[in-house]
Amino acid sequence: MKVLLVGSGGREHALAWKIRQSPLLTRLVVAPGNPGVAALAETADVKVTDVAGLTALAREMAADLVVIGPEAALEAGLADALAALGVACFGPTRAAARLETSKGFTKAFARRHDVPTADYGEFSDAATAKGALDRFTPPYVIKADGIAAGKGVVIAETRAAAEQAIDDMLGGQFGAAGARLVIEAFMTGEEASVFALCDGKTARLFGAAQDHKRVGDGDTGPNTGGMGAYSPAPVMTDERLAFVERRMIDATVAGMGAEGAPYCGVLYAGVMVTPEGPKLVEYNARFGDPECQVLMLRLASDLLPYLLACAEGRLADMPPLEWRDETALCVVVAAPGYPEAPATGSRIRGADADFGPAVTVFHAGTRRDATGDLQAAGGRVLNVCARDPDVAEARRLAYAAVDAIDWPEGFCRRDIAWRALTR
Ligand code: GLY
**Band of pLDDT at residue 146, cut at 50, 70 and 90:** very high
Distance CA 286, CA 386 (A): 23
Fold observed for domain 188-317: D-amino Acid Aminotransferase; Chain A, domain 1 (3.30.470)
Instruction: Tell me the average pLDDT across 195-214.
Output: 97
Q: Which of 141-155, 247-261, 313-327 has the lowest mean pLDDT?
A: 141-155
pLDDT for position 329: 98
| Topology match between the domains 2-90 and 119-184 | no
CA 225 to ligand 1 centroid distance, Å: 6
Strands (E), 64-152: 65-68, 89-90, 120-123, 140-144
Q: How many other CB atoms are found less than 10 A from the CB of residue 21?
A: 13
Distance CA 165, CA 142 (A): 7
pLDDT per residue as tens digits for the range 112-129 = 999 999 999 999 999 999
* 59 close to 81: Cβ distance less than 8 angstroms: no
What percent of the chain clears pLDDT 70, i.e. is strictly above it? 100
Distance CA 274, CA 118 (A): 10
Going by CA atoms, what residue is nearest to atom 4 of ligand 1?
A: 288
For the CA of 286, the closest atom of ligand 1 is: 4
Fold observed for domain 119-184: Dna Ligase; domain 1 (3.30.1490)
Distance CA 280, CA 113 (A): 12
CA 272 to ligand 1 centroid distance, Å: 15
pTM for this one? 0.97
- The ranges assigned to domains in the chain are 2-90, 119-184, 188-317, 327-421
**Residues at CB less than 6 angstroms from ligand 1:** 211, 225-226, 284, 288-289, 291
- Amino acid symbol at 231: S
Q: What separation in angstroms does the CA of 103 have from each of 70, 147, 152, 179?
A: 17, 9, 10, 12
16 Cβ contact partners less than 8 Å away, ≥ 6 residues apart: 5, 28, 30, 33, 37, 40, 41
For the CA of 226, the closest atom of ligand 1 is: 1
Distance CA 227, CA 414 (A): 10
Give me the architecture of the 2-90 domain, per CATH: 3-Layer(aba) Sandwich (3.40)
Distance CA 288, CA 194 (A): 10
CATH class of the domain whose range is 327-421: alpha beta
Best of 71, 281, 289, 292 for a ligand 1 pocket test (most atoms within 8 Å of beta carbon): 289
Question: Rounded mean pLDDT of the chain?
Answer: 97
* 392 close to 329: Cβ distance less than 8 angstroms: no
Distance CA 184, CA 314 (A): 37
pLDDT per residue as tens digits for the range 268-312 = 999 999 999 999 999 999 999 999 999 999 999 999 999 999 999
Best of 193, 282, 295 for a ligand 1 pocket test (most atoms within 8 Å of beta carbon): 193
The set of long-range contacts for 298-301, using a CB threshold of 8 Å and a minimum separation of 24, is 298/207, 298/231, 298/232, 298/323, 298/324, 298/326, 298/328, 298/387, 299/18, 299/207, 299/323, 299/324, 300/324
Going by DSSP bridges, is the β-strand pair 347-348/374-376 parallel, antiparallel, or unpaired?
antiparallel
CA 44 to ligand 1 centroid distance, Å: 25
